[in-house]
Amino acid sequence: MTAVLELLGRGVLSVLEGVGRFFTLFGMTLRGLVSPPWAPAATARQVVRVGVDSVPVVLLTAFFTGGVLALQTFKGFQRFHAEGYIGSVVALSMLRELGPVLTGLMVTGRAGSAMAAELGSMRVTEQIDALVSLATDPVQYLFVPRVLAAIIVVPMLVVLADAIGIVGGYLVAVSYLGANPVVYINNTFQFLDMDDLTSGLIKSAVFGFLLALVGCQCGFDTEGGAEGVGRSTTTAVVMGSLSILIADFFLTKVLF
C-alpha cells in the first residue's frame, strides 16, 4: 500500500517538477527578451536558420494544403451547389487556421528539433557548463536569440504560406475544377477581413515562441550522452507540436 502511494507521490512530484521547470525557464526567457543586452548577430543567425531555411518546406506544405482544400471543399460544396464559395473557404481556412498551424508544425520539425539537438549536444559535452563557468547566463545566451528569432520569423513564414496556399487553391480550382478565375478571385477576397490575417499572425508569433522555448528547453535538460540527445530531439518535436495544437485552441477561443 505504501509502495503504491510512494509511486503515485513520486509520479505527481516529477510532473509538478517538470511544470515548475518549464515555467521557471519560461520566466527567465521572458526576462531575457525584455532586458538588454540583446545579441543582434546571434539573433540574425537564428533568423536565417529558423526562417530562411524553412521557406521551401513551408511553401510546399502550404501549396499542397491549399490545393487539397480546394478539392475537398469542391466535393462537399458541390452537393448543395455552393462551388462558388470555394475561394472564400480556402482563404479563410488558410489565414485563420491552416497557415499558422501547419507552418508552426513544420518549423517545429525542422528548427525546434535542431535547437534541441544543438543544445543537447552542448549539454552532454559540458559546453553549457563551460558557458556558466565563463560567467555567461545560458538562457540569455542560448535561449533568447532563438526564441526571439522564432517570434519574428514564424509570422513572416505564415504570410508566405497564406499566399501560396491561396495560389494553390486557385490553381486547382481554375485548372482542374473548371472554376471561373475572375469569380474565384472575387470570392476569395469578398469575405476576408483584416482580423483574419492578424489573428493568424498573433497565433503564429505565439507558436514561434512556444516551439523555440520547448526546443531549447528539451535540449538544455538533456541527460545521458548521445542517446539522451536523441530522446530530447524527439521530445522537442512531440511537446512542441502538442503545445502548438493546444495553444491554438485556446488562442482561437480568445481571439474570435
115 exposed, middle or buried (CB, 10 Å; 0-12, 13-18, 19+)? buried
> At closest approach, how far in Å is the CB of 247 from other proteins?
30
Under rule CB under 8 A, residue 1 binds other proteins = no
Nearer to other proteins by Cβ, of 45 and 167: the residue is 45
> Does the N-terminal peptide bond of residue 36 adopt cis geometry, omega within 30 degrees of 0?
no
Among positions 163-222, residues that touch other proteins (CB under 8 A) are none
Nearer to other proteins by Cβ, of 149 and 172: the residue is 149
> At closest approach, how far in Å is the CB of 137 from other proteins?
8
Q: Which of 16, 165, 11 is nearest to 87 (CA)?
A: 165
Nearer to other proteins by Cβ, of 126 and 227: the residue is 126
CA-based max dimension of the chain: 73
Nearer to other proteins by Cβ, of 26 and 141: the residue is 141
- Are the C-beta atoms of 240 and 112 separated by less than 8 Å? yes
Interatomic CA distance for residues 91 and 77, integer angstroms: 15
Q: Give the per-residue contact string, 83-122, with other proteins (x = CB under 8 A; - = no).
A: ---------------------------------------x
Among positions 125-154, residues that touch other proteins (CB under 8 A) are 125-127, 129-130, 132-137
Nearer to other proteins by Cβ, of 129 and 195: the residue is 129
- Dihedral of CA atoms 86, 252, 106, 150 in degrees, nearest 10, equals 130
Q: Return the SS3 of 37.
A: coil
> At closest approach, how far in Å is the CB of 19 from other proteins?
19
User: Identity (one letter) of the amino acid at 115?
Assistant: M
> At closest approach, how far in Å is the CB of 234 from other proteins?
22
Nearer to other proteins by Cβ, of 79 and 133: the residue is 133
Nearer to other proteins by Cβ, of 24 and 125: the residue is 125
> At closest approach, how far in Å is the CB of 112 from other proteins?
18
Start-to-end C-alpha separation, the chain: 49
> At closest approach, how far in Å is the CB of 10 from other proteins?
10
> At closest approach, how far in Å is the CB of 5 from other proteins?
14
Q: 172-200: b or e for each residue (b if 16 or more CB lie within 10 Å)?
A: bbbeebebeeeebbebbeeebeeebbebb
> Does the N-terminal peptide bond of residue 37 adopt cis geometry, omega within 30 degrees of 0?
yes
By CB under 8 A, the count of residues binding other proteins is 12
Contact residues: other proteins, CB under 8 A:
122, 125-127, 129-130, 132-137
